[in-house]
Structure 1
Protein backbone atom coordinates (compact mmCIF):
# COMPACT_ATOMS: atom_id res chain seq x y z
CA UNK A 1 0.00 0.00 0.00
CA UNK A 2 1.24 3.46 -0.85
CA UNK A 3 2.54 5.55 2.03
CA UNK A 4 1.86 8.91 0.39
CA UNK A 5 -1.56 10.44 0.00
CA UNK A 6 -3.15 10.85 -3.44
CA UNK A 7 -5.03 14.16 -3.73
CA UNK A 8 -7.75 14.62 -6.35
CA UNK A 9 -9.87 17.73 -6.92
CA UNK A 10 -13.04 17.11 -8.94
CA UNK A 11 -14.92 20.20 -10.11
CA UNK A 12 -17.69 21.28 -12.40
CA UNK A 13 -21.12 22.85 -12.54
CA UNK A 14 -24.18 21.63 -10.66
CA UNK A 15 -25.76 18.68 -12.47
CA UNK A 16 -22.56 17.43 -14.12
CA UNK A 17 -22.04 14.53 -11.72
CA UNK A 18 -19.11 15.84 -9.68
CA UNK A 19 -20.40 14.30 -6.46
CA UNK A 20 -21.23 10.93 -8.04
CA UNK A 21 -17.71 10.89 -9.50
CA UNK A 22 -16.07 11.48 -6.12
CA UNK A 23 -18.44 9.08 -4.33
CA UNK A 24 -17.57 6.23 -6.70
CA UNK A 25 -13.84 6.91 -6.66
CA UNK A 26 -13.82 7.24 -2.87
CA UNK A 27 -15.60 3.91 -2.44
CA UNK A 28 -13.21 2.21 -4.87
CA UNK A 29 -10.22 3.43 -2.86
CA UNK A 30 -11.85 2.43 0.44
CA UNK A 31 -12.60 -1.08 -0.81
CA UNK A 32 -8.95 -1.47 -1.79
CA UNK A 33 -7.91 -0.75 1.80
CA UNK A 34 -7.02 2.92 1.63
CA UNK A 35 -7.96 5.50 4.22
CA UNK A 36 -10.25 7.94 2.39
CA UNK A 37 -11.35 11.46 3.24
CA UNK A 38 -13.70 13.58 1.16
CA UNK A 39 -15.04 17.13 1.31
CA UNK A 40 -17.56 18.86 -0.95
CA UNK A 41 -18.70 22.41 -1.60
CA UNK A 42 -21.89 22.96 -3.57
CA UNK A 43 -22.31 26.64 -4.38
CA UNK A 44 -25.85 27.02 -5.69
CA UNK A 45 -25.31 23.72 -7.48
CA UNK A 46 -28.98 23.36 -8.34
CA UNK A 47 -28.75 26.59 -10.33
CA UNK A 48 -25.66 25.77 -12.34
CA UNK A 49 -23.24 26.97 -9.68
CA UNK A 50 -19.75 25.71 -9.03
CA UNK A 51 -19.26 22.32 -7.35
CA UNK A 52 -15.93 21.08 -5.99
CA UNK A 53 -15.00 17.87 -4.25
CA UNK A 54 -11.72 17.12 -2.50
CA UNK A 55 -10.86 13.41 -2.44
CA UNK A 56 -7.81 12.08 -0.61
CA UNK A 57 -6.70 8.50 -0.18
CA UNK A 58 -3.60 6.81 1.20
CA UNK A 59 -2.31 4.74 4.09
CA UNK A 60 -3.41 7.41 6.58
CA UNK A 61 -5.22 10.64 5.69
CA UNK A 62 -5.66 13.24 8.42
CA UNK A 63 -7.72 15.93 6.72
CA UNK A 64 -10.36 15.92 3.98
CA UNK A 65 -9.16 19.24 2.56
CA UNK A 66 -6.43 19.44 -0.05
CA UNK A 67 -4.06 22.35 0.53
CA UNK A 68 -3.31 24.72 -2.33
CA UNK A 69 -0.56 23.44 -4.68
CA UNK A 70 -0.94 19.84 -3.37
CA UNK A 71 -3.44 18.20 -5.75
CA UNK A 72 -1.97 15.37 -7.82
CA UNK A 73 -4.96 15.60 -10.16
CA UNK A 74 -7.68 18.05 -11.03
CA UNK A 75 -10.55 16.57 -13.01
CA UNK A 76 -12.81 19.29 -14.36
CA UNK A 77 -16.14 18.79 -16.10
CA UNK A 78 -15.55 22.03 -18.06
CA UNK A 79 -12.77 24.54 -18.71
CA UNK A 80 -13.81 27.56 -16.66
CA UNK A 81 -13.98 25.43 -13.52
CA UNK A 82 -10.50 24.08 -14.31
CA UNK A 83 -9.21 27.66 -14.28
CA UNK A 84 -11.17 28.51 -11.13
CA UNK A 85 -9.54 25.71 -9.10
CA UNK A 86 -6.13 25.56 -10.78
CA UNK A 87 -4.36 26.87 -7.66
CA UNK A 88 -4.90 23.46 -6.05
CA UNK A 89 -2.72 21.68 -8.63
CA UNK A 90 0.86 20.92 -7.65
CA UNK A 91 3.64 21.81 -10.08
CA UNK A 92 3.90 18.31 -11.59
CA UNK A 93 0.17 17.61 -11.20
CA UNK A 94 -2.14 16.42 -13.95
CA UNK A 95 -5.13 18.43 -15.16
CA UNK A 96 -7.85 16.51 -17.00
CA UNK A 97 -10.70 18.62 -18.36
CA UNK A 98 -13.58 18.33 -20.76
CA UNK A 99 -13.19 20.57 -23.81
CA UNK A 100 -16.55 22.23 -23.20
CA UNK A 101 -17.09 25.69 -21.81
CA UNK A 102 -20.26 26.62 -19.95
CA UNK A 103 -20.37 30.43 -19.90
CA UNK A 104 -21.26 32.02 -16.55
CA UNK A 105 -24.73 33.55 -16.28
CA UNK A 106 -23.59 37.21 -16.66
CA UNK A 107 -21.99 36.28 -20.00
CA UNK A 108 -25.04 34.30 -21.12
CA UNK A 109 -27.40 37.20 -20.47
CA UNK A 110 -25.08 39.73 -22.12
CA UNK A 111 -24.10 41.66 -18.99
CA UNK A 112 -20.43 40.76 -19.45
CA UNK A 113 -18.16 39.76 -22.31
CA UNK A 114 -15.38 37.22 -22.13
CA UNK A 115 -12.94 35.86 -24.70
CA UNK A 116 -12.95 32.15 -23.90
CA UNK A 117 -9.91 31.48 -26.10
CA UNK A 118 -7.85 32.96 -23.28
CA UNK A 119 -8.72 29.94 -21.11
CA UNK A 120 -6.63 27.61 -23.27
CA UNK A 121 -3.71 30.02 -23.26
CA UNK A 122 -3.95 30.41 -19.49
CA UNK A 123 -4.02 26.66 -18.86
CA UNK A 124 -1.24 25.82 -21.33
CA UNK A 125 1.04 28.43 -19.75
CA UNK A 126 0.54 27.05 -16.25
CA UNK A 127 0.05 23.28 -16.55
CA UNK A 128 2.77 20.89 -17.70
CA UNK A 129 0.51 17.83 -17.86
CA UNK A 130 -2.75 18.97 -19.43
CA UNK A 131 -5.29 16.64 -21.05
CA UNK A 132 -8.36 17.88 -22.93
CA UNK A 133 -11.06 15.30 -23.56
CA UNK A 134 -14.18 15.56 -25.71
CA UNK A 135 -16.03 13.93 -22.82
CA UNK A 136 -19.40 15.53 -23.53
CA UNK A 137 -19.15 14.63 -27.24
CA UNK A 138 -18.32 11.03 -26.36
CA UNK A 139 -21.27 10.95 -23.93
CA UNK A 140 -23.59 12.36 -26.63
CA UNK A 141 -22.44 9.64 -29.04
CA UNK A 142 -23.31 7.06 -26.38
CA UNK A 143 -26.77 8.60 -26.09
CA UNK A 144 -26.69 10.50 -22.78
CA UNK A 145 -24.71 13.69 -22.16
CA UNK A 146 -24.95 13.08 -18.41
CA UNK A 147 -22.35 10.30 -18.53
CA UNK A 148 -19.50 12.64 -19.48
CA UNK A 149 -18.33 12.42 -15.85
CA UNK A 150 -17.72 8.69 -16.33
CA UNK A 151 -15.74 9.37 -19.51
CA UNK A 152 -13.45 11.57 -17.42
CA UNK A 153 -13.27 8.97 -14.65
CA UNK A 154 -12.27 6.31 -17.17
CA UNK A 155 -9.46 8.54 -18.40
CA UNK A 156 -8.29 9.28 -14.84
CA UNK A 157 -8.39 5.57 -13.98
CA UNK A 158 -5.32 4.97 -16.17
CA UNK A 159 -3.26 6.92 -13.61
CA UNK A 160 -4.62 5.17 -10.50
CA UNK A 161 -3.84 1.75 -8.94
CA UNK A 162 -7.31 0.25 -9.42
CA UNK A 163 -8.75 -2.24 -11.92
CA UNK A 164 -11.79 -1.67 -14.15
CA UNK A 165 -13.75 -4.26 -12.15
CA UNK A 166 -13.14 -2.27 -8.97
CA UNK A 167 -14.98 0.70 -10.48
CA UNK A 168 -17.75 -1.42 -11.99
CA UNK A 169 -18.52 -3.13 -8.66
CA UNK A 170 -18.95 0.24 -6.98
CA UNK A 171 -21.02 1.61 -9.87
CA UNK A 172 -23.55 -1.18 -9.33
CA UNK A 173 -24.28 0.24 -5.87
CA UNK A 174 -24.31 3.91 -6.89
CA UNK A 175 -26.03 4.03 -10.28
CA UNK A 176 -29.59 3.01 -11.10
CA UNK A 177 -29.81 -0.25 -13.02
CA UNK A 178 -31.32 1.43 -16.11
CA UNK A 179 -28.26 3.69 -16.41
CA UNK A 180 -25.52 1.30 -15.32
CA UNK A 181 -24.46 0.00 -18.74
CA UNK A 182 -24.20 3.42 -20.36
CA UNK A 183 -22.10 4.68 -17.44
CA UNK A 184 -19.81 1.66 -17.71
CA UNK A 185 -19.56 2.16 -21.47
CA UNK A 186 -18.66 5.82 -20.91
CA UNK A 187 -15.97 4.79 -18.42
CA UNK A 188 -14.46 2.39 -20.95
CA UNK A 189 -14.53 5.06 -23.68
CA UNK A 190 -12.54 7.34 -21.38
CA UNK A 191 -9.95 4.61 -20.84
CA UNK A 192 -9.74 4.01 -24.59
CA UNK A 193 -9.22 7.72 -25.20
CA UNK A 194 -6.10 7.59 -23.02
CA UNK A 195 -4.42 4.82 -25.03
Structure 2
Protein backbone atom coordinates (compact mmCIF):
# COMPACT_ATOMS: atom_id res chain seq x y z
CA UNK A 1 0.00 0.00 0.00
CA UNK A 2 1.40 3.46 -0.81
CA UNK A 3 2.53 5.92 1.85
CA UNK A 4 -0.82 7.71 1.63
CA UNK A 5 -3.95 6.27 0.10
CA UNK A 6 -5.11 8.25 -2.89
CA UNK A 7 -8.65 9.64 -2.72
CA UNK A 8 -9.81 7.46 -5.59
CA UNK A 9 -8.67 4.28 -3.82
CA UNK A 10 -11.22 4.95 -1.09
CA UNK A 11 -14.04 3.97 -3.47
CA UNK A 12 -13.33 0.48 -2.17
CA UNK A 13 -13.42 0.40 1.65
CA UNK A 14 -10.22 0.96 3.58
CA UNK A 15 -10.07 -1.51 6.44
CA UNK A 16 -8.34 -0.55 9.69
CA UNK A 17 -7.78 -2.39 12.96
CA UNK A 18 -6.89 -0.52 16.14
CA UNK A 19 -5.66 -3.05 18.69
CA UNK A 20 -4.47 -2.50 22.21
CA UNK A 21 -4.97 -3.09 25.90
CA UNK A 22 -7.69 -1.65 28.08
CA UNK A 23 -6.86 1.88 29.22
CA UNK A 24 -4.65 2.79 26.25
CA UNK A 25 -7.22 5.03 24.59
CA UNK A 26 -8.10 2.99 21.51
CA UNK A 27 -11.74 4.02 21.79
CA UNK A 28 -10.95 7.75 21.91
CA UNK A 29 -8.68 7.36 18.89
CA UNK A 30 -11.49 5.57 17.06
CA UNK A 31 -13.95 8.37 17.85
CA UNK A 32 -11.57 10.97 16.40
CA UNK A 33 -10.97 8.82 13.30
CA UNK A 34 -14.70 8.29 12.74
CA UNK A 35 -15.50 11.99 13.10
CA UNK A 36 -12.71 13.05 10.71
CA UNK A 37 -13.72 10.43 8.11
CA UNK A 38 -17.38 11.48 8.22
CA UNK A 39 -16.41 15.12 7.84
CA UNK A 40 -14.39 14.13 4.76
CA UNK A 41 -17.54 12.63 3.23
CA UNK A 42 -16.82 8.95 3.73
CA UNK A 43 -19.28 6.34 4.87
CA UNK A 44 -17.81 4.70 7.95
CA UNK A 45 -18.68 1.67 10.04
CA UNK A 46 -17.13 0.81 13.41
CA UNK A 47 -17.22 -2.35 15.53
CA UNK A 48 -15.62 -2.56 18.98
CA UNK A 49 -14.64 -5.64 20.96
CA UNK A 50 -13.70 -5.20 24.61
CA UNK A 51 -12.09 -8.29 26.13
CA UNK A 52 -12.10 -7.54 29.87
CA UNK A 53 -10.70 -4.15 28.93
CA UNK A 54 -10.85 -2.76 32.46
CA UNK A 55 -8.51 -5.54 33.60
CA UNK A 56 -5.89 -5.02 30.93
CA UNK A 57 -7.56 -7.26 28.37
CA UNK A 58 -7.49 -6.80 24.63
CA UNK A 59 -9.48 -4.04 22.96
CA UNK A 60 -10.02 -4.31 19.21
CA UNK A 61 -11.75 -1.76 17.03
CA UNK A 62 -12.61 -2.57 13.43
CA UNK A 63 -13.05 0.47 11.18
CA UNK A 64 -14.11 0.51 7.53
CA UNK A 65 -14.37 3.70 5.52
CA UNK A 66 -15.19 4.25 1.87
CA UNK A 67 -17.71 5.63 -0.57
CA UNK A 68 -20.28 3.12 0.70
CA UNK A 69 -19.66 0.60 3.49
CA UNK A 70 -22.19 -2.11 4.34
CA UNK A 71 -20.48 -3.99 7.17
CA UNK A 72 -18.11 -2.97 9.98
CA UNK A 73 -16.30 -6.31 10.01
CA UNK A 74 -12.71 -6.30 8.77
CA UNK A 75 -11.60 -9.54 7.13
CA UNK A 76 -8.13 -8.33 6.14
CA UNK A 77 -6.79 -4.94 7.23
CA UNK A 78 -5.07 -2.37 5.05
CA UNK A 79 -3.67 -0.83 8.23
CA UNK A 80 -3.23 -2.17 11.76
CA UNK A 81 -2.44 0.28 14.54
CA UNK A 82 -1.08 -1.67 17.50
CA UNK A 83 -1.03 0.29 20.74
CA UNK A 84 1.18 -2.40 22.32
CA UNK A 85 3.75 -4.81 20.82
CA UNK A 86 2.12 -8.12 21.67
CA UNK A 87 -1.25 -6.95 20.34
CA UNK A 88 0.49 -6.16 17.05
CA UNK A 89 1.90 -9.69 16.91
CA UNK A 90 -1.45 -11.21 17.90
CA UNK A 91 -3.22 -9.48 14.99
CA UNK A 92 -0.46 -9.68 12.37
CA UNK A 93 -2.21 -12.47 10.49
CA UNK A 94 -5.12 -10.07 9.90
CA UNK A 95 -2.98 -7.70 7.81
CA UNK A 96 -3.36 -7.76 4.01
CA UNK A 97 -0.24 -8.45 1.96
CA UNK A 98 1.32 -5.04 1.41
CA UNK A 99 -0.61 -3.57 4.33
CA UNK A 100 0.86 -1.22 6.90
CA UNK A 101 1.53 -2.08 10.55
CA UNK A 102 1.98 0.89 12.89
CA UNK A 103 3.13 -0.37 16.28
CA UNK A 104 3.88 1.30 19.58
CA UNK A 105 7.11 0.00 21.12
CA UNK A 106 5.46 -0.05 24.56
CA UNK A 107 5.29 -3.39 26.38
CA UNK A 108 2.43 -4.21 28.74
CA UNK A 109 2.77 -7.64 30.30
CA UNK A 110 -0.47 -9.65 30.20
CA UNK A 111 -1.64 -11.54 33.28
CA UNK A 112 -0.13 -14.93 32.26
CA UNK A 113 3.30 -13.30 31.94
CA UNK A 114 2.92 -11.47 35.26
CA UNK A 115 1.88 -14.76 36.89
CA UNK A 116 4.92 -16.56 35.48
CA UNK A 117 2.81 -18.91 33.35
CA UNK A 118 4.08 -17.53 30.03
CA UNK A 119 6.95 -15.55 28.59
CA UNK A 120 6.63 -12.33 26.67
CA UNK A 121 7.98 -12.90 23.14
CA UNK A 122 11.33 -11.28 22.38
CA UNK A 123 12.08 -8.96 19.46
CA UNK A 124 8.48 -8.41 18.40
CA UNK A 125 9.22 -5.25 16.35
CA UNK A 126 11.84 -7.15 14.32
CA UNK A 127 9.45 -10.04 13.75
CA UNK A 128 6.71 -7.67 12.62
CA UNK A 129 9.09 -5.87 10.25
CA UNK A 130 10.23 -9.17 8.70
CA UNK A 131 6.67 -10.34 8.09
CA UNK A 132 5.22 -6.94 7.21
CA UNK A 133 7.81 -4.84 5.37
CA UNK A 134 7.19 -1.17 5.91
CA UNK A 135 6.22 -1.65 9.56
CA UNK A 136 6.40 1.65 11.44
CA UNK A 137 7.60 1.34 15.04
CA UNK A 138 7.02 4.35 17.30
CA UNK A 139 7.87 5.04 20.91
CA UNK A 140 4.48 6.67 21.31
CA UNK A 141 4.70 6.76 25.10
CA UNK A 142 7.97 8.70 25.14
CA UNK A 143 6.75 11.00 22.37
CA UNK A 144 3.58 11.72 24.35
CA UNK A 145 5.64 12.46 27.46
CA UNK A 146 7.68 14.95 25.46
CA UNK A 147 4.41 16.60 24.41
CA UNK A 148 3.33 16.90 28.03
CA UNK A 149 1.21 13.86 28.93
CA UNK A 150 1.88 10.12 28.64
CA UNK A 151 -1.85 9.51 28.16
CA UNK A 152 -1.62 11.15 24.72
CA UNK A 153 0.29 8.13 23.33
CA UNK A 154 -2.93 7.04 21.60
CA UNK A 155 -3.06 10.35 19.74
CA UNK A 156 0.59 9.98 18.67
CA UNK A 157 -0.42 6.70 17.02
CA UNK A 158 -3.51 8.33 15.55
CA UNK A 159 -1.29 10.98 13.96
CA UNK A 160 0.85 8.27 12.36
CA UNK A 161 -2.32 6.68 10.97
CA UNK A 162 -3.69 10.03 9.75
CA UNK A 163 -0.62 10.58 7.58
CA UNK A 164 -1.56 7.45 5.67
CA UNK A 165 -5.24 8.26 5.10
CA UNK A 166 -6.83 10.60 2.53
CA UNK A 167 -8.40 12.93 5.11
CA UNK A 168 -7.40 16.63 5.14
CA UNK A 169 -5.38 17.86 8.13
CA UNK A 170 -7.94 20.46 9.12
CA UNK A 171 -10.61 17.79 9.55
CA UNK A 172 -8.38 15.89 11.96
CA UNK A 173 -7.87 19.10 13.93
CA UNK A 174 -11.62 19.68 14.09
CA UNK A 175 -12.24 16.10 15.17
CA UNK A 176 -9.68 16.34 17.96
CA UNK A 177 -11.27 19.55 19.20
CA UNK A 178 -14.70 17.90 19.22
CA UNK A 179 -13.65 14.75 21.09
CA UNK A 180 -10.81 15.75 23.44
CA UNK A 181 -11.64 17.83 26.54
CA UNK A 182 -10.50 21.44 26.11
CA UNK A 183 -7.98 21.29 28.96
CA UNK A 184 -6.10 18.48 27.20
CA UNK A 185 -6.44 19.76 23.64
CA UNK A 186 -3.07 21.52 23.32
CA UNK A 187 -1.15 18.43 24.46
CA UNK A 188 -3.16 16.19 22.14
CA UNK A 189 -2.64 18.49 19.18
CA UNK A 190 1.11 18.36 19.80
CA UNK A 191 0.97 14.56 20.16
CA UNK A 192 -1.01 14.19 16.94
CA UNK A 193 1.46 16.34 15.00
CA UNK A 194 4.41 14.43 16.44
CA UNK A 195 2.87 11.15 15.29
CA UNK A 196 1.96 12.61 11.90
CA UNK A 197 5.62 13.55 11.37
CA UNK A 198 6.86 9.99 12.06
- What's the TM-score once normalised by structure 2's chain length? 0.91
Q: Which residue of 2 aligns with 1:29?
A: 37
Q: Which residue of 2 aligns with 1:143?
A: 148
Q: Tell me the distance in 2 between the aligned counterparts of 1:159 and 1:114.
A: 30
- What's the TM-score once normalised by structure 1's chain length? 0.92
How much has 1:143 moved relative to structure 2?
Answer: 2.3
1:157 to 147, 159, 162: 162
Q: Give SS of 1:9's match.
A: strand
Aligned residues: 190
* CA deviation profile, 1:139-177 (whole Å, cap 9, x unmatched): 112221110111111111111111221111111221111
Q: Give SS of 1:128's match.
A: coil
Q: Which residue of 2 aligns with 1:72?
A: 78
How much has 1:39 moved relative to structure 2?
Answer: 0.2
Q: Which residue of 1 aligns with 2:93?
A: 87
* CA deviation profile, 1:60-96 (whole Å, cap 9, x unmatched): 11110001xx211000111100011112110010000
1:112 correspondence with 2:118: yes
In structure 2, runs of 5+ residues without a counterpart are 1-7
* CA deviation profile, 1:106-165 (whole Å, cap 9, x unmatched): 212323333422x23431331122010111110112221110111111111111111221
2:14 to 6, 22, 40: 6
* RCO comparison, higher one (Cα < 8 Å, 6+): 2
Q: Which residue of 1 aligns with 2:139?
A: 134
Q: How does 1:50-69 map onto structure 2 within 5 Å?
A: 50-67=58-75
Q: Which residue of 1 aligns with 2:188?
A: 183
Q: Tell me the distance in 2 between the aligned counterparts of 1:78 and 1:113.
A: 16
Alpha carbons of 1:57 and 1:115: their partners in 2 closer, same or farther (altered >3 Å)? closer
- The answer to whether the Cα contact below 8 Å between 2:40 and 2:168 also exists between their aligned partners in 1 is no
